Structures are given as structure tokens and as C-alpha cells.
Amino acid sequence: MESLRGIRRVVFFTFEILAISAFVIMLASSVLQVFFRYIMDAPLQWTEELARLMCVLTTYFGGVVVLLAREHIRVDIIDGFVSGRGADILALVVDLMMAWFLLSVGYGCWLLMNATWMTFTATMDWFRMGHIYAAVGVSVLVMTLLLILDMYDRAMRMVGRTRKTGV
Amino acid sequence: MILSLFIGVLLLLFVIGIPAAFALGLSALIVTVFERGIDAIPYTILAQRMVYGVNSFPLLAIPFFILAGKIMNTGGITDRIFDFAARLTGHMRGGLGQVNIAASIIFSGMSGSAVADAVGVGQVEIRAMRQANYPDEFSVGVTAASATIGPIIPPSIPLIVYAVVANASATALLIAGILPGLLMGALMMLLVWWQARRHNLPTQKWQGFKPLVSSFWRALPPLVTPAIIIGGMMSGIFTPTEAAAIAVVYAVIIAMFVYREITLPQLVQILRETMRETAVIMIIIAAAALYGWLLVFTQIPQQLVSIVEGLNLSPFMLLLAINVFLLIIGLFMETNAAITIFTPMLLPLAVAIGVDPVHFGIIMVLNLMIGLLTPPVGMVLFAVAKVADVPINRALVAVAPFYVPLLIALMLVTYFPQISLVLPDLFLK
């Protein structure tokens, strides 16, 4: 269990650094856009596209962090109606469905990454769309793995409780 | 059949507690499986929509406005704004109640989130009202209600989300929010005036022009922020995203170098919080793009329009029905999630009866702001209750009188489109 906690910590900090870096580049790129247009009178072509793509990366790298912190917005009406074993089973079902969705997106990213690996973005001849799909794919894969870890954790706790109480 | 499947599956997923973003994506996936079979899942479209849903320049205004608002929310800056508002309106009947609303209106021009307003400037407001022996019921009510003005007056995160989902002009929407926001403030001030008369609440002494001018100078740097944002957009110099980015730079300069209120480690902490809030909102928008694409692909909005046309409702009744529907939705759903889900369904109905998409955006956000003051998902209510350390039921009783001015504002904004459209018409056409 301690090693699982360690894995989660490493994933959290790695993706937090990646997401904040993407966020800072997104902000810097947008500021540069205004600066070069109005102060230097020489508009840059690539700033808007870079900022947009960094927004995509901030979203998915940050998505891993948010999933680890369980900060996604949800309607929590059900929490008042189920508890104990029922709540554990429901949480397993919820995680399983989320994992199915993430795997589907991840597979789509894999297909698109292959299709666009050699395609440059419209304004940056050093940046390929395949990189973006790869990064998103890795993020959703990590999210899936985290959900599987959570499901394993929960299942083990349920088994332990059953052994203890015999119910 | 497919319409009920769309709505039924989504509701079911919400009820069992699946996070909003995943519920949206999963319902699109499940509907596709029902319609076309498990072998025909369009994986590439799934991934493409999830990426392109957030690959949009106007959307970037959201994280930047969150960041600028958080930086402006640091202690010293909110204190200065409150101090200026106190000297400006503290002598009016209702004293600090009026100050509270004035401070929220001023802060609305810097932050686009009601919860941020409630927690940031709300903390200063409640502290001051307690020191002046105002009853908690009154302080909590006015603080929570006035925080809902935040996302109506620009900058506004929900209006940007709406602009992207509805494919409407973000600049027009943000400018359209100015008068409705001021109207909400004026109606709340009227209620506070009436409550103050009834309960004989204390009023501050008018301290003259000199203290007013000196507090204005002390608060001038943050007070310039709305001028940068609104002025920049109205004059066409900046897009909303560029205005938001410049607002961030300006906020960093005044918070770190002019007032020296935040240090580098604090700025990093603010960045961490902003990144997480951004990810939460953006993943919902990405999944909503997928959901919205499938809605349009299966012609759900057209089906809805023909069903409603069959009901033969007058535009007045239809708008009333949409308002009631959105008020109910606001009880249960987070604002941005509600906008992303229901805009593709409701906007075609509104447009069919001649409602301008910009006007409809203001109606929608105003409805959902009222929802922020009601349980079970009343985020502002919870935030203010936490700040003031009062139980939710007491906070709910405190807020109850403020539903009246908010509902009056909603009706006026709904049935008098000029309130929303006069400024965009004046400056953008």
C-alpha cells in the first residue's frame, strides 16, 4: 500500500509540474501576442496556436492531478443514500465506467497520433499534432491506471472488511 | 427514443455520482453503442472532439480571468477596495450592507467567478460587518447575494463558456453583462435600504471628500483593472483572451511590485490552484464538445424545437418556461456544466422565437447565478456559510430575501432585451 501511495505522489508532482509549465507557456504566448502586435508592431503568427495547444495540454496534464485529488465536479445526491458496502460497490462501478471512457479516448488518441505524427501544426514547423495526441493519450492512460489502482485498493479493503466481520 | 436516451442516460450517470465531465463523455459513448453497436464506436472522433473542444482561443480567457481574480483576491487589495467602497457608500441607509454590494460590484470588474468573490472580498465584508455589530443573518445574506453579480459584470467565466458553446461573440456577451449586473446591484441596494429602515441598522458617518479621495488613490491600481478589461474590449484593442492575459500581467505587477502583497512562493501556489480549477472546467467543456457534437449529429435540437413548436407556447410563456427550467437546473448543477449541457438544447428554442443569442446568454447565466444561492449545489451559499462559520440552514434563511431582487432582475432582463443589448449595439455595431 505504501508503494502505491508513493506511485501516486510521483505521478501527482510530475503531472502538476507539466501542467503548470504548459499553463505558463500558454500565458506567456498570449502576452507575447499583444506585446509584438502593439509594442513591436510586428505580429507573431504562432503565438495563438501555441497558446491553444498549451491549453489542451494544461487540461489533460491537469486532469491527472485533479483525478488524483478527486476534485472533479459531481452531483453528490447519491452519497446520502448509500453507505458501507453499497457505497464501495457503487464507487467501483463509477470508476469502471470512467476507465472505459478514458480507454476509448486513449485508443482514439493512439489512432490519431499515428495519423498525424508527420503533420506539422499550421504555424509551427517544429511542432506536430501527433505530439499533442501523444501527450493527451499518455494523460488519459495514466488516469485509467490511477482508476485501476483505486479499484484494486477498494476491492482489497472490501475483502479485508468481509474477512474481519464475516459479512 | 434517442432524445430520451440522451437525457435519461446523462441523468442516471449524474445521479450515481459520476463526475460531470465523465458523465457527458460516457453518455455520448453509451448512446453511440445503443445506436450503432459496440463495433462501431468512432474512437477517432471521440479523441478529436475531446482535444478540439478545448483547442479554442476564446476559451483561454477562462484560466487567465481565474488567475487575475485570484491574484487580486489577496488580502491587501481586497481591503483597499472595501475601504474605498466604505467611504463611497457607507453613509447611505444600510451602511455596510450598501458597502458590501458596492465592493462586490467593483470586484466584479476584476474577477469572473462568484465563488471567488464570495471567498475573497466576502471575507473582508463579513469581518467588517461583524465588527460593526451587524446581525450575521444580514451580513451573510448580502455577501452571498452580491457575489452573484461577479459573473454577470465582465470579466465572466460562465459567459465565456457560453460564448464558446453557443458560438457567439465573447466580447458582445461580456459587454452585454454590464447593465444587468448594475441592475442587480441597484435592486439589492434597494432591498438593503428597506431592511435597514425596518431593522434600524447602523449607518456610517459621511467622512467628507478628502478621505474618499485618499481611499480612491490607495485603491486606484486595482480599480484600473476593469478599465483595462472592459475598455480594451469595447475599443477593439484586445480580444477577451488578450484582455485577460494583460489583466494577469497587470495584477502580478500591482500585487508583487506595487503593494508587495504576495511573494513568489504565494504566486506559485496561486498558479497551482488556477491550473487545477482550469483543468476541472476545461475537461467538462471538452466532454461537452463531444456530447454537443453527437446532439447535433443526431438532430436532437431540431427534434426539441418541433416538440416545443407543437405546444403552441407564446414567446412570453416559452421564456418563462426556460427560466423555470434553468432555475431548477441551477439547484442541482454546477454553472459551467449546466451551460455546456443545456446551451445546445435551449439556444435553438430561444432563437426560434427571435431571442438574440447574446441576450439568451445573459438570461441563462443570471438564472444559474440564482442557483448558486440554493442547496443542494449552492456553491456561493456554502462558501459564504464557511467563511462566516454559520450553519447552512441559517445562511439559507439569510439569503432568502435576496431572491426577490434577483428574480425581479431576471424578469426585467428576460423581457426587456434592451437592458442586455444596448451596450453591445452601441459599441460593436
Chain B from 237 to 266: CB within 8 A of any A CB: 237-238, 241-242, 244-246, 248-249
Which residue has 510521483 as its cell numbers? A10
- The H-or-E segment that residue A156 falls in is helix A129-165
Q: Is the pTM of this model over 0.95?
A: no
* B43 contacts A107? CB cut-off 8 A: yes
Cα A74–Cα B327–Cα B274 angle in degrees, nearest 5? 40
From chain B residues 38-67, the ones with a CB under 8 A of any chain A CB are 41, 43-48, 50-51, 54-57, 59-60, 63-64, 67
Q: Which three cell numbers stand for residue B285?
A: 467543456
User: How many residues are recorded in chain B?
Assistant: 429
Residue B305 burial (CB count, 10 A): 17
Number of cross-chain residue pairs from A and B with Cβ atoms under 8 Å apart: 179
Q: Using an 8 Å CB-CB cutoff, list chain A residues near B333.
A: 75
User: Does the beta-carbon distance from A101 to B25 stay under 8 Å?
Assistant: yes
C-alpha grid cell, residue A8: 501516486
Residue B394 to residue B302: CA distance in whole angstroms: 44
Cβ distance of A108 and B333 shorter than 8 Å: no
pLDDT in tens, B81-118: 888 988 888 888 888 899 899 989 988 888 878 888 88
* B83/B153 Cα distance (integer angstroms): 21
- Give the residue-averaged pLDDT of B382-396: 86
pLDDT (0 to 100) of residue A1:
66
Any A CB within 8 A of B377 CB: yes
Residue B59 near residue A55 (C-beta atoms within 8 A) = yes
For testing the chain A interface, which of B24, B45, B51 should be mutated: the one with the most A CBs within 10 Å?
Answer: B51
CA distance B429 to B12: 45
Which range (A96-105, A110-119, B28-37, B173-182) has the least confidence?
B28-37
Rounded distance between C-alpha atoms, residue A43 and residue B107, angstroms: 33
Point out which residues pair with A128 in neighbouring strands: A120
Q: Which of B56, B60, B66 to mutate to test the interface with A (most CBs of A within 10 A)?
A: B60
Secondary structure of chain B in the HEC alphabet? CHHHHHHHHHHHHHHCCCCHHHHHHHHHHHHHHHHHCHHHCCHHHHHHHHHHCCCCCHHHHHHHHHHHHHHHCCHHHHHHHHHHHHHHHCCCCCCHHHHHHHHHHHHHCCCCCHHHHHHHHHHHHHHHHHHCCCCHHHHHHHHHHHHCCCCCCCCCHHHHHHHHHHCCCHHHHHHHCHHHHHHHHHHHHHHHHHHHHHHCCCCCCCCCHHHHHHHHHHHHHHHHHHHHHHHHHHCCCCCHHHHHHHHHHHHHHHHHHHCCCCCHHHHHHHHHHHHHHHHHHHHHHHHHHHHHHHHHHCCHHHHHHHHHHHCCCCHHHHHHHHHHHHHHHHHHCCHHHHHHHHHHHHHHHHHHCCCCHHHHHHHHHHHHHHHCCCCCCCHHHHHHHHHHCCCHHHHHHHHHHHHHHHHHHHHHHHHCCHHHHHHHHHHHC
**If you average pLDDT over residues B250-261, what whole number do you get?**
91
Which among A23, A75, A115 is the nearest to B275, CB-wise? A23
Distance (Å, rounded) from C-alpha B218 to C-alpha B290? 48
Encoded amino acid at B55, one letter: N
Instruction: Using DSSP, state whether A41 is helix, strand or coil.
Output: coil
Average pLDDT across each block of 10 residues of chain A; the chain has 167 residues. List them in order: 84 96 96 90 92 96 95 78 87 95 97 94 90 96 95 89 68
Q: Which of B202, B210, B177 is nearest to B105 (CA)?
A: B177
Residue B218 has which C-alpha cell?
Answer: 490607495
Query: How many angstroms separate the CA atoms of A143 and A69, rounded?
Result: 12
pLDDT at res. A166: 62
B136 or A46, which is more confident?
A46
Closest chain B residue to A87 measured between Cα atoms? B16
Half-sphere exposure (CA, 13 Å, Cβ side) for B407? 10
**CB proximity B333 to A under 8 Å:** yes
- Choose among B55, B248, B280: nearest Cβ to A72: B280
pLDDT digits 0-9 by tens, B38-75: 888 999 999 999 999 899 888 899 899 889 888 987 76
Give the pLDDT confidence of B325-367 residue by residue, as tens digits: 999 988 877 888 889 888 988 999 999 999 999 999 999 999 9
Nearest to A34 among B17, B242, B283 (CB): B242
Distance from CA of B107 to the nearest CA of A (A): 22
The reply to whether residue B29 touches residue A16, judged by beta carbons under 8 angstroms, is no
Which of the four pLDDT bands, split at 50, 70 and 90, describes residue B370?
very high
Residues of B in contact with A16 (CB under 8 A): 272, 275
- How high is the ipTM of this complex? 0.93
Which of A31, A55, A104 is opposite residue B245, by nearest beta carbon?
Answer: A31
What distance in Å separates residue B306's CA from the closest CA in chain A? 31
Distance CA B392, CA B403 (A): 16
